[in-house]
A and B are shown apart, each in its own frame.
Chain A
Amino acid sequence: MTKHFDTGVGGGSGDGKSRDEAETGIYERPAAGKFTERLGSLADAFEMYKSEGRSLSVSFENDRLNEIRQGESYGISIRAVKQGKIGFSYSSKPDEIDHVAQSAVRMAPWGKPYDYQFAPKAESAHTREPDAACGELSVEHMVELCDKVKDTIKAIDPEALVDAGINGGVSTTRIATSRGQDCREEDSGFSYFVSARISEEGNFLSVYRARGASRVIDDAEILAKAREAAEEFKMARTLLPFGKGKYRVLFAPQTVADLLLPIAVGVNGMNIARKTSRFVDALNEQVFDPRISLEDDPFHPDSPAGAVYDGEGVPAQKRPIVERGVLKGFVHTLSTAQKCGHAPTGNGQRSVSSQPAPGLHSVVMAPGNAELADMLRDTEDGLCISQMLGTFTSNFLAGQVSGNISLGYAVKEGRCAGRVKNCALNVNSFDVLKGQIVAISRQREWVGNSYLPWVLLDGIGISAR
């Protein structure tokens, strides 16, 4: 079921302490310094990952206040090496640090070989200032803002049912390794979700806007996005017929994200090491249209997924992935980098309860030179796709992106004129992003952790009933 608002910026805790108190570490008994010394005597090498956080969220459902959620999260995990193998253990119980260490050592005989090295002491050249305000949101203000969102949407279409959510939180992560790395990163997060919805016979419609950031987003943006969602909602209540065939299709940033998923999977170090990616031998080859450039930018000030260090304590980097259509980089953990004989890239992604896996921090796609309004005109009698359903089940390794078009609009006279239904898309991203691009917009928007433009493609097959 698609409910789009997920609370919990890095989990989050609600102990009501100030950040300073939280930093001192209410659970830091025994002292971490002494603890790492003890861990050093138990294991041949180790990495400790600890995170604490708290969050607060307000949710509106069906036009009314539904829930105030306050979360606290605490977790510690340890990777311990014994006789050349890595054991891993995790706990969310605050007083179990020794138990976790012993358990990790006990698991080691079955673990994977320690054929790389945990992060060495290395300080990032970058810094990030968390926004303390994310941890000090007022319930009353959040409720009032959700009320305004409701009024804004209702003023445009009184029949819309309004859902909305606002979430903020702060967290601290610390990673210490036996090779001397000891980094602590403080993070803050804020996100909103606004939606206009109706479930009418023959037309279930939900139009939403959402964005996350590492600092508090202005009320004005949230209300402007509520207005935008309501206007799109109003337009989408008109249904237009659409037959199967090959069309010009304008992909909104939300669905450009779908088109990029095969690339994210293809450059993932795990799939390079396992040789399941078609990009294994394609570094420095022209694999896409020269207008495609993708960068992994963990330092982008507007990214909700900024990071100075990755999940293994390796300094994060801003790196090209695709430059003017040429494949430039893979994303690696320490382990996959070692396997491939590549340099580490600082792309170990994890939660405290899991081992790191390679992943992009924040994909920033270069803008094109087209105006969105011109692109809409160039989509005449084609389709604009704003939302897809179920694309995650596609065969990304093969480049396939397929699913039902949950929000698609027929384009007439240079604008989205009404919603088309019962249409499905099945494209191969590797093909369409190489040979079928008509234009890329100057305008970009944040979609999750990615900053993406609109992309107009030609000759896209649409199945319809």
Chain B
Amino acid sequence: MKEQLLELARKSGADFCEIRVEDSTQTSINYQGPELENVQESHMYGGNVRVAVNGTWGFVTFNNPDELERRVSEAVRNARAASARSTAKSVLAQVNPVHAEVKLALKSDPRKVSLDEKVRLFGDYNQRMLGHPGVTSTNLRYFDKYSRIRYANSEGTWTDTEAIDMGMGASALARKNGTTARGSASQGGRDNFDLFRGMEAEMDKAARTAVEGADAPVVEGGTYTVVCDPNLAGVFVHEAFGHLSEGDNVAEDPRMQEVLKLGRRFGEDYLNIYDTGLDVGLRGHLPFDDEGVPTEKTWLIRNGVLVGRLHSRETAGRMGEKPTGNARAISYKYPPIPRMRNTCIANGPHGSLEDLIKDIKLGIYAIDSAGGQTNGELFTFTAGEAFMIRDGKLAERIRDVTLGGNVFDTLRNITHVAGDYNVHDSSGGCGKAGQMPLPVSHGSPHIRIKDVVIGGR
């Protein structure tokens, strides 16, 4: 296949041509309440051709590999027809062509664990949550996916990459007096199925969180000092700053280039943010991106100052910056666009959780995330669990805590960054431009933010 793909890409006649062929197998298990709702095996096979002609992309997907040559012609024909009136140039940052084979290096292979064992393991977790008094229902999803992606482009790059991706999300629901509350537990990774074993304590905690949440009052809306746990702070940095750093927001928007000028101060000296593809074992680990570019650790903010962004070859080329290996596609059905990998706030100088809350008179401690969204400038996310902070101490449980704000103000308002960095994967993923879910990771120490708007009654 290698020679065939390289040859087809080379002779396409476009300014640039790449071909991706993907073959993946996924096992999924889903419990809903006491029932095993779904056990599924899926085989995804397909590919795409992407060509650039006069700055316009032609992108064609296919399921039948016998038709590959025709697909290349169609992609070129579409891009030519569309760009007939264009004088634009295709701009891609230069990279050295690579030839690479990436083989699996696993601590524990999910494919060697029998379906029977997986069904029992996750079934036991599910039963454990259901066994807690007050838990009315549960939902537990697990998947593991093996994929092999072959990639060739007209510049001679060839990568043949094997990867495993695994994730589990479990939630317990408690319903009381017409109110429903949720508690959750999660796990994920790329190289170790054993991480999914021995999670009984996490399941108990999810159940307790749900039951206690159903009794908790809804937070009083307003502006608070908020301390975020590493997981929520990770979601915050992903939503609030990671997306803003993606090169496609900036590359062709002169005003945005002003707003996001390298060298601009975004936070205090102790604020350091990076995105990395190098953390082996995490879901955000990525040896090569989906344009065959080796990934790296990319600093975005150092000592409070903007120093970098996340690029595909096109966005890097348009801005005269270096590609960072961030072009990613969730599958062959989509073209690669700038996306995150493992996005993190680095450790800071402010100690531990206790140090962060000890002088807060009235605030909120927000733990875990039920998801979030951003439009570049504004963000919203919902805490999985939250407590009031009163007179420097954790106080009563509260529920339905949604944090919102302006990205720029909020980054400036990070007053404390603790030194207890943690990263924990889940089964979820990032969504952008219809591509969801993309496996990513996010990590952070505890952080403290002043003046956060909390939507409440």
Residues of A in contact with B (beta carbons under 8 Å apart): 1-3, 5-8, 11, 13-16, 27, 58, 61-74, 87-94, 96, 99-100, 103, 106-107, 110-112, 139-140, 143, 161, 198-201, 203-204, 206, 244, 270, 273-276, 278, 353-355, 389-395, 397-398, 400, 402-404, 406, 421-426, 461, 463-465
Q: Is B182's CB under 8 angstroms from A395's CB?
A: yes
Contact A275 B136, CB 8 Å, known A90-B43, A393-B402, A397-B173? yes
Interface 1/0 per residue, B286-320 and A, CB below 8 Å: 00000000000000000000000000000000000
The one of B44, B258, B405 that contacts A201, using a Cβ cutoff of 8 Å: B258
Kindly provide the distance from the CB of A139 to the nearest chain B CB, expressed in whole angstroms.
5
C-alpha spacing A140/B83, complex, angstroms: 9
B91 within 8 A of A: no
C-alpha spacing A353/B432, complex, angstroms: 21
B79 within 8 A of A: yes
Kindly provide the distance from the CB of B73 to the nearest chain A CB, expressed in whole angstroms.
10
Residues of B within 8 A of A100 (CB): 43
The one of B44, B173, B433 that contacts A92, using a Cβ cutoff of 8 Å: B44
Kindly provide the distance from the CB of B395 to the nearest chain A CB, expressed in whole angstroms.
21
Q: Is B433's CB under 8 angstroms from A390's CB?
A: no
Q: Sample 17 A-B pairs with CB under 8 A, ordered by A number.
A: A5-B434, A14-B60, A15-B67, A67-B57, A68-B82, A70-B60, A90-B43, A91-B45, A96-B45, A199-B259, A275-B137, A389-B378, A390-B374, A398-B181, A402-B382, A402-B400, A424-B453
B404 within 8 A of A: yes
Kindly provide the distance from the CB of B181 to the nearest chain A CB, expressed in whole angstroms.
7
C-alpha spacing A393/B372, complex, angstroms: 6
C-alpha spacing A93/B175, complex, angstroms: 43
B269 within 8 A of A: no
Q: Is B83's CB under 8 angstroms from A395's CB?
A: no
Given contacts A74-B64, A87-B39, A203-B377, 7 further A-B contacts (CB under 8 A): A90-B43, A92-B44, A92-B46, A107-B41, A161-B253, A393-B373, A394-B402
Q: Is A390's CB under 8 angstroms from B82's CB?
A: no
Q: Is A107's CB under 8 angstroms from B253's CB?
A: no
Q: Is A99's CB under 8 angstroms from B59's CB?
A: no
Residues of B within 8 A of A389 (CB): 373-375, 378-380, 404
Q: Is B432's CB under 8 angstroms from A71's CB?
A: no
Kindly provide the distance from the CB of A24 to the nearest chain B CB, expressed in whole angstroms.
15
Q: Is A464's CB under 8 angstroms from B377's CB?
A: no
Q: Is B63's CB under 8 angstroms from A94's CB?
A: yes
Residues of B within 8 A of A91 (CB): 42-45
Q: Is A65's CB under 8 angstroms from B82's CB?
A: yes
Q: Which residues, 1 to 41 on B, are CB-close (under 8 Å) to A?
A: 32-33, 35-41
Contact A406 B378, CB 8 Å, known A65-B56, A275-B136, A276-B175? yes
B451 within 8 A of A: yes
Residues of B within 8 A of A94 (CB): 63-64
Contact A71 B61, CB 8 Å, known A91-B42, A112-B36? yes
B103 within 8 A of A: no
Q: Is A68's CB under 8 angstroms from B246's CB?
A: no
Kindly provide the distance from the CB of B132 to the nearest chain A CB, expressed in whole angstroms.
15
Q: Is B256's CB under 8 angstroms from A355's CB?
A: no
Residues of A within 8 A of B451 (CB): 465
C-alpha spacing A400/B400, complex, angstroms: 8
Q: Is A274's CB under 8 angstroms from B137's CB?
A: yes
C-alpha spacing A61/B315, complex, angstroms: 13
Kindly provide the distance from the CB of B144 to the nearest chain A CB, expressed in whole angstroms.
15
C-alpha spacing A106/B381, complex, angstroms: 41
Residues of B within 8 A of A143 (CB): 81-82
Residues of B within 8 A of A65 (CB): 55-56, 82-83, 86
**Least CB separation from B119: chain A residue:** A110
Q: Is A1's CB under 8 angstroms from B376's CB?
A: yes
B94 within 8 A of A: no
The one of A67, A89, A199, A423 that contacts B59, using a Cβ cutoff of 8 Å: A67
Interface 1/0 per residue, B47-62 and A, CB below 8 Å: 0000000011111111
The one of B33, B181, B381 that contacts A274, using a Cβ cutoff of 8 Å: B33
Contact A406 B381, CB 8 Å, known A14-B60, A91-B45, A92-B46? no
B194 within 8 A of A: no
B371 within 8 A of A: yes
C-alpha spacing A100/B43, complex, angstroms: 9
Kindly provide the distance from the CB of B317 to the nearest chain A CB, expressed in whole angstroms.
14
Residues of B within 8 A of A390 (CB): 371-374, 379-382, 402, 404
Contact A66 B116, CB 8 Å, known A110-B36, A390-B381? no
C-alpha spacing A397/B451, complex, angstroms: 29
Kindly provide the distance from the CB of B235 to the nearest chain A CB, expressed in whole angstroms.
10
C-alpha spacing A15/B62, complex, angstroms: 8
Interface 1/0 per residue, B371-412 and A, CB below 8 Å: 111111111111000000000000000011010111001000
Contact A426 B456, CB 8 Å, known A402-B400, A465-B451? yes
Interface 1/0 per residue, B123-164 and A, CB below 8 Å: 000000000000011000000000000000000000000000
C-alpha spacing A423/B74, complex, angstroms: 48
Residues of A within 8 A of B83 (CB): 65
B75 within 8 A of A: yes
**Least CB separation from B180: chain A residue:** A397
Residues of A within 8 A of B399 (CB): 395
C-alpha spacing A199/B258, complex, angstroms: 9
B419 within 8 A of A: no
Residues of B within 8 A of A64 (CB): 55, 86, 88, 252
Q: Is B59's CB under 8 angstroms from A68's CB?
A: yes
Kindly provide the distance from the CB of B192 to the nearest chain A CB, expressed in whole angstroms.
23
The one of A72, A103, A400, A426 that contacts B41, using a Cβ cutoff of 8 Å: A103
Kindly provide the distance from the CB of B369 to the nearest chain A CB, expressed in whole angstroms.
8
Q: Is A68's CB under 8 angstroms from B455's CB?
A: no
Kindly provide the distance from the CB of B107 to the nearest chain A CB, expressed in whole angstroms.
25
C-alpha spacing A354/B39, complex, angstroms: 11
**Least CB separation from B377: chain A residue:** A204
C-alpha spacing A63/B88, complex, angstroms: 12
B255 within 8 A of A: yes
Residues of B within 8 A of A11 (CB): 333
C-alpha spacing A344/B291, complex, angstroms: 48
Contact A425 B63, CB 8 Å, known A394-B382, A403-B404, A404-B379? no
**Least CB separation from A11: chain B residue:** B333
Determine which residue in B39, B46, B55 has the highest number of CB atoms from chain A within 10 A of its CB, and name it: B39
Residues of A within 8 A of B195 (CB): none
**Least CB separation from B137: chain A residue:** A274
C-alpha spacing A89/B243, complex, angstroms: 35
C-alpha spacing A124/B369, complex, angstroms: 44
The one of B39, B182, B455 that contacts A424, using a Cβ cutoff of 8 Å: B455
Q: Is A58's CB under 8 angstroms from B82's CB?
A: yes
Residues of B within 8 A of A403 (CB): 373, 380, 402, 404, 455
B370 within 8 A of A: yes
Kindly provide the distance from the CB of B427 to the nearest chain A CB, expressed in whole angstroms.
15
C-alpha spacing A275/B431, complex, angstroms: 30
B447 within 8 A of A: no
Contact A393 B454, CB 8 Å, known A91-B43, A110-B115, A112-B36? no
B78 within 8 A of A: yes
**Least CB separation from B40: chain A residue:** A88
**Least CB separation from A144: chain B residue:** B85
C-alpha spacing A70/B71, complex, angstroms: 9
Q: Is A395's CB under 8 angstroms from B180's CB?
A: yes
**Least CB separation from A56: chain B residue:** B78
**Least CB separation from A142: chain B residue:** B82
C-alpha spacing A354/B369, complex, angstroms: 26
Q: Is A274's CB under 8 angstroms from B136's CB?
A: yes
C-alpha spacing A200/B408, complex, angstroms: 12
C-alpha spacing A13/B71, complex, angstroms: 11
C-alpha spacing A102/B259, complex, angstroms: 57
Kindly provide the distance from the CB of B322 to the nearest chain A CB, expressed in whole angstroms.
21
The one of B35, B39, B79, B333 that contacts A107, using a Cβ cutoff of 8 Å: B39
Kindly provide the distance from the CB of A458 to the nearest chain B CB, expressed in whole angstroms.
16
C-alpha spacing A394/B373, complex, angstroms: 12
B437 within 8 A of A: no
Residues of B within 8 A of A393 (CB): 369-373, 380-382, 402
